[in-house]
């Protein structure tokens, strides 16, 4: 179970290319940021059906 506010969201999903963009808030307590990042990786892994490659990673703070 994931706590409220500790989730990542799909911004773009391209089913044909098996590609997408996931966004999560990169601010707050380190443990909360880690949970959001883990949730993003879990969503990517589920979408890709296993292993995946991150081509670009941006760290923007609001």
Q: What is the mean pLDDT of the chain?
A: 82
Q: Is a pLDDT exceeding 90 seen at residue 31?
A: yes
Beta strand segments in the chain, E: 9-14, 19-23
4 phi, psi to nearest 5 deg: -60, 135
13 in any annotated domain: yes
pTM: 0.72
22 in any annotated domain: yes
Highest mean pLDDT among 7-11, 14-18, 26-30: 26-30
The structural domain count of the chain equals 1
31 in any annotated domain: yes
Task: Summarize the confidence of residues 19-45 as an average pLDDT.
Answer: 90
Domain residues for the domain of 16 are: 9-48
């Amino acid at each position: 179970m994931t706590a409220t506010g500790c989730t990542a969201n799909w911004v773009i999903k391209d089913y044909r290319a098996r590609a997408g963009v996931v966004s999560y808030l990169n601010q707050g307590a380190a443990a909360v940021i880690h949970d959001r990042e883990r949730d993003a990786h879990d969503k990517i892994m589920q979408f890709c059906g296993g292993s995946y490659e991150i081509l670009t990673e941006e760290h923007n703070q609001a």
